[in-house]
Amino acid sequence: MGRTFDVLETVAHEVRGSGGVRARAVTLDVTDENSVREAFEAASDAFGPPLILVNNAGVAASAPFKRMDLAHWQHMLDVNATGTFLCTRQVVDGMLSARWGRIVNVASVAALRGYAYIAAYAASKHAVLGLTRSLALELATTGVTINAVCTGYTQTDMLERTVENIVATTRRAAKTARDELLRLNPQGRFVESEEVASAVAWLCLPSSASITGQAIAVAGGEVT
């Protein structure tokens, strides 16, 4: 699921080509309640009630607090926090009926600590972690687990946009901006997206049944 059908269909085609796996591309806007409901109804019609949900939609933007307007603040909360809530709400009943389910929220190290100039983003990710921990307690005896994977700076398009934003606002060279971000990681490297995916997949295993309400940092030691 996501906003751009062509991108989604490319991934779905690759998944289908992996041998005996069914996949369908479904577009949605995670900030729109009706869009989320219709997307999950379409998924349920095709495959049955989802028993694994990965909330991976997210946006990031920086701004000094004194320059931050309400639109900036609200957009971070709408996508990162409310989007996670709306998608999660669509799957819980089916998981409870099945007495089994896995929900993984892709958060950030900004859910575990504060950072200057990203107050709205950090607040939204703290909200995701609060939702994770609270819902995990509600569902603790049901066979449904919910955890958060808290990533450091990861080699994705979002990282490139972050570097571009630093360059645009500070006039620093792109290499200088990347080096400043790298210094946050004790391993001195950016996280690879495959490393995040592996952590998510591990949390979805039947053998991970006792892991719930946790914040799993995939950040090269940036937080403990």
- Residues annotated as catalytic (active site), given as ranges: 121
Number of H helices, E strands in the chain: 8, 4
| CA distances in angstroms from 187 to 75, 106, 219, listed in the order given | 32, 21, 9
- Residues 144, 98 contacting (CB under 8 angstroms): no
174 phi, psi to nearest 5 deg: -60, -40
Q: Residue 55 is encoded by which pair of tokens?
A: 């909330």
Helix (H, G, I), strand (E, B) or coil at 100: coil
